[in-house]
Amino acid sequence: MTYLVTGCAGFIGSQICERLLSQNETVIGLDVFTDYYNPERKRKNLAAALKQDRFQFVEGDLAEMDLRPVIESVDCVFHTAGQPGVRGSWGSQFDLYTRNNIRATQRLLECIKETRPGVRVVYSSSSSVYGNTNQLPTSETAVPRPYSPYGATKLAAEHLCNLYHANYGVPVVSLRYFTVYGPRQRPDMAFNIFTKAILQDRPITVLGDGGQTRDFTFVGDIVAANLSASQKPVEGGIFNLGGGSRISLMGAVEILEKIIGKSARIERKERNKGDVRDTWADTTQAQTRLGYKPAVSLEEGLRQQVAWEEEALRAEGELS
């Protein structure tokens, strides 16, 4: 089979590419290298895949390019591309979120409908679609009530997947990720920021009281779930992917301190608008229908992330 991975240079997309290539699959990677964070970092994420003969890279913008030549040659799409981040989705930046999360997804689905309607799409959705839910743990039956513009655009794209499946039979699967972490994590995400700061003896900023909880999910478990969703008979399904590692933010900081062997210097600020208080995934459906079982504990996953961050900082001359 030939797989298309959109957002192939990103945190999750690049690791899906590498997992597929390790299984001797043929992969087409598509990315536009937006400037949400340093594109050079994304190019480094692609370095291993680019060495493989079975990997073809296409640089292009899902919201603008002619997708037919790519779609005609693939059997399955992992749609990880999108505009990330809750905090940046307010105000004038919202146009980027509607363009890169909604319009890009609609164009991809429309091209599949017109070109190869049997191509499966595994869509990277988000726990942000639930908002500040009172249902903890949260199952897929909970009514989505996004608490940020970002969450609203992810839900809109998920609805597009559902309606192309219902009306045209496009075999889509939506995966709602709960706070993904691990090597290659985006530089705007908390564990990346905290790890660098502690390693470099800089203060970390904790938003709010630090008692907010998240269900942290290791990136390797997310990758495994994507591959499973591409193979199981689960067309039209929506699945929560949590790591079973729900903990408070300050509890996670304590684990980082233990791994790094240094205490964090903590500064506090008011929490950002759109940040929810708690997340906790009910993964019963994913366990039952995808065979999903998180394999990496939070401490082990953070050890892997810290090791990766240390290596990256030393390579950049930012850590002795």
| Three-state DSSP string of 110-161 | HHHHHHCCCCEEEEEEEHHHCCCCCCCCECCCCCCCCCCHHHHHHHHHHHHH
Q: For residue 190, give every residue at least 6 positions away whose Cβ sits within 8 Å of its Cβ, in sequence order, or none.
A: 249, 252
Report the C-alpha gap between 320 and 310 in whole angstroms: 10
Element (H, E) at 77: strand 76-79
Q: Which residues are tagged catalytic?
A: 150
Q: For residue 85, give every residue at least 6 positions away whose Cβ sits within 8 Å of its Cβ, in sequence order, or none.
A: 36, 150, 188
Residue 290 DSSP symbol: I
CB 138 within 8 A of CB 281: yes
3-state secondary structure of 76: strand
CB 244 within 8 A of CB 294: yes
Strands 26-31, 204-207: pairing kind: unpaired
CB 190 within 8 A of CB 80: no
Q: How far is CA 225 from CA 40, 52, 89, 290, 295, in A?
A: 28, 23, 27, 7, 11
3-state secondary structure of 89: helix
